A and B are shown apart, each in its own frame.
Chain A
């Protein structure tokens, strides 16, 4: 039965292969292939999710290859966490694919889009099913690749091409950290199995606390990249260049959630060596606050949502850093639904009005009722208004922050919650309420787009119930079955709950006052708090900072290496040539002077000798006689001896 689970990622993979080869021939029917595959995955996953709800765990693995004597395994691992992820990915994914039929209707590369979506589904599903870091890392990389392909889907646009590159490179930095962390873990403990990240196994390596703390932080580095935490958050807003379904699926619901999933899986490791927890919580809270601050002033509808995503991911990360395992994972599930809904709604707005600038919108509720209503439901959820899902999950997180050692996290996160409510409803009021600021031709989206919106709205509304007291905190109990460390029970804290509701409603009201009733207030506050406004609008100039420092330095290094490469190689070649020339010149000199010289010398010597000998022939007879006599003398001399 377990082996059936291999089919879950297999269906979308088959869809990808089919659409890559036969997509052009299939044309508009490609969507059916993708949707069919996605629904089949959903159907195949359902029994496993149902089983996990009953407390069952499914495992299977086979050996892929041997590394230093240790086998590398591929396989399946389904516990409550992966079951929850399976549910989220298949359901939200299927709805988004259906929505894309309407959104990408006029696109000339329609089949290719669905091929990429299918590939992404396959990668994401294999990621959540991975039993060990090997398969996990491979799926992680594949997911990153799909993100690159899909962000840059409209690659004719220069901004889209640059954005996809930025996304890939920025997440790559995190991926390197993750890889190092995996290696460090492997070399310290000898294992890469995720199920071994529990105190029973890791306790044996307690003396390597420094190495394992570092491993935990490095693994978290991967999450910093993928889940767009500070300082690697810069790619996510630019990723909005991609089509809106992509933003919804990848950059709201699933891929960015993979970072949170990673931290959740490493929970056992990071709680055993608590220094990493502080790092995680700090970065999470900081990101949440900072992103919310940026979201206050953005004018592009998708950008606001992008910063919102970063902020909410910060919440989840911070929750896990504060040992709130159930809180973080709960928010992951609820966020997937309402954020996907928000993005799809924004896509609907863009599709209907033709613009993305909220300053050009207004009063759309009347003309786009379905979009508007579902968007409103999602906004209420994210603001944390009970009894919608967002309230329950956000409340869990705030309780975990409240009860942790350092109250500062609570204060920061609460302030962020307030800001969340404010900027979300700023967006709502400016887009859907008030008077239209520009004459636009507006039409509601087709059913193929609005039906997924309503289905997601239902999810956003009710999915909080399993974690609420009305179902006896079933979700928390369910998810704690997969926890690595000790199960942390957070009792309901009425103080926290009341404060959070107050903050949420307060934010909504403030937004209503500023943007609905007295629009002049907005400009007033903008001028009065100009430095803050500019800091927020320019995202604290972080992009510019990165460009001026890291990127320029990297380009400089590249240029330097290129020049070195050129000089050394060309220099070597030229040097060889010059050396050969010089050698041949020397040989030439040798040939001319020594060889020829020798020959000439022989002639010269012969001439010298002969000119010497010539002088014997004087013509004088007395000389000849003398020499004759000398000859006789010689003979005499030798005869005498």
Chain B
């Protein structure tokens, strides 16, 4: 291990929180989707880091990383489709103008 495991974990935590910040703060819906990608990447980093350390079953981490990537792609796709649909209904792409979840 070139650098201590903790550092990578801390890095992934930071990445995760930056992504979460973006999800909570960005007004543009696509911006939110981008931030979600960041979160998923942080998870991936975590998985890979741990897969490197475990000797018993090292593939598991990487395999899951692949799955995560695939799902992330899917999420982006479906999300963008929703954005288009939303724009058609509400004429806006800013999240704080859409309060349809109220009741």
Q: Taking the complex as a whole, does A directly touch B, i.e. does some CB pair lie under 8 Å apart?
A: yes
Interface residues of A (CB under 8 A from B): 617-622, 624-626, 629
Choose, from B4-12, B43-51, B59-67, B95-103, the stretch at the interface: B95-103
Enumerate chain A residues within 8 angstroms of B24, measured Cβ to Cβ. 622, 625-626, 629
Enumerate chain A residues within 8 angstroms of B96, measured Cβ to Cβ. 620, 622
Enumerate chain B residues within 8 angstroms of A617, measured Cβ to Cβ. 102-103
Enumerate chain B residues within 8 angstroms of A620, measured Cβ to Cβ. 95-96, 98-99, 101
User: At the interface, yes or no: B23 with Cβ under 8 Å from chain A?
Assistant: yes
Which residue of chain B lies nearest to A624 when distances are taken between CB atoms in the complex? Answer: B101
Nearest 5 Cβ contacts at the A-B interface:
A619-B99, A619-B102, A619-B101, A626-B24, A622-B24
> CA–CA, A619 to B98, complex, Å?
7
User: At the interface, yes or no: B20 with Cβ under 8 Å from chain A?
Assistant: yes
Scan residues 75-103 of chain B and give those whose CB is less than 8 A from a CB of chain A: 95-96, 98-103
A625 near B23 (CB under 8 angstroms)?
Answer: yes
17 A-B interface contacts by CB (under 8 A): A619-B98, A619-B101, A620-B96, A620-B98, A620-B99, A621-B98, A621-B101, A622-B24, A622-B25, A622-B32, A622-B95, A622-B96, A624-B101, A625-B23, A626-B24, A629-B20, A629-B24
Total count of chain B residues near the partner, CB < 8 A: 13
Enumerate chain B residues within 8 angstroms of A626, measured Cβ to Cβ. 24
Cβ 8 A contact of A618, one of B20, B23, B32, B102: B102
Enumerate chain A residues within 8 angstroms of B100, measured Cβ to Cβ. 619
Enumerate chain B residues within 8 angstroms of A624, measured Cβ to Cβ. 101
Instruction: Report the minimum CB–CB distance from A504 to chain B (whole Å).
Output: 136
Q: A626-B24, A629-B24 are in contact. Are A621 and B95 (CB under 8 A)?
A: yes
> CA–CA, A572 to B100, complex, Å?
74
Enumerate chain B residues within 8 angstroms of A629, measured Cβ to Cβ. 20, 24
Q: A625-B23, A625-B24, A629-B20 are in contact. Are A618 and B99 (CB under 8 A)?
A: yes
Which residue of chain B lies nearest to A619 when distances are taken between CB atoms in the complex? Answer: B99
> CA–CA, A619 to B95, complex, Å?
10
Enumerate chain A residues within 8 angstroms of B20, measured Cβ to Cβ. 629
Instruction: Report the minimum CB–CB distance from B34 to chain A (whole Å).
Output: 14
> CA–CA, A624 to B98, complex, Å?
13
Other than A619-B101, A619-B103, A622-B24, give 11 A-B pairs with Cβ distance below 8 A: A617-B102, A618-B99, A618-B102, A619-B102, A621-B95, A621-B98, A621-B101, A622-B32, A622-B96, A626-B24, A629-B20
> CA–CA, A351 to B75, complex, Å?
148
> CA–CA, A120 to B65, complex, Å?
141
Enumerate chain A residues within 8 angstroms of B95, measured Cβ to Cβ. 620-622
> CA–CA, A620 to B95, complex, Å?
7
Enumerate chain A residues within 8 angstroms of B99, measured Cβ to Cβ. 618-620
Enumerate chain B residues within 8 angstroms of A625, measured Cβ to Cβ. 23-24
Which residue of chain B lies nearest to A617 when distances are taken between CB atoms in the complex? Answer: B102
> CA–CA, A629 to B25, complex, Å?
13
Which residue of chain A lies nearest to B102 when distances are taken between CB atoms in the complex? Answer: A619
> CA–CA, A620 to B101, complex, Å?
7
Mask: chain B, 10-21; 1 = CB below 8 Å from A; 0 = not: 000000000010
Instruction: Report the minimum CB–CB distance from B66 to chain A (whole Å).
Output: 26
> CA–CA, A624 to B96, complex, Å?
12
Scan residues 32-47 of chain B and give those whose CB is less than 8 A from a CB of chain A: 32
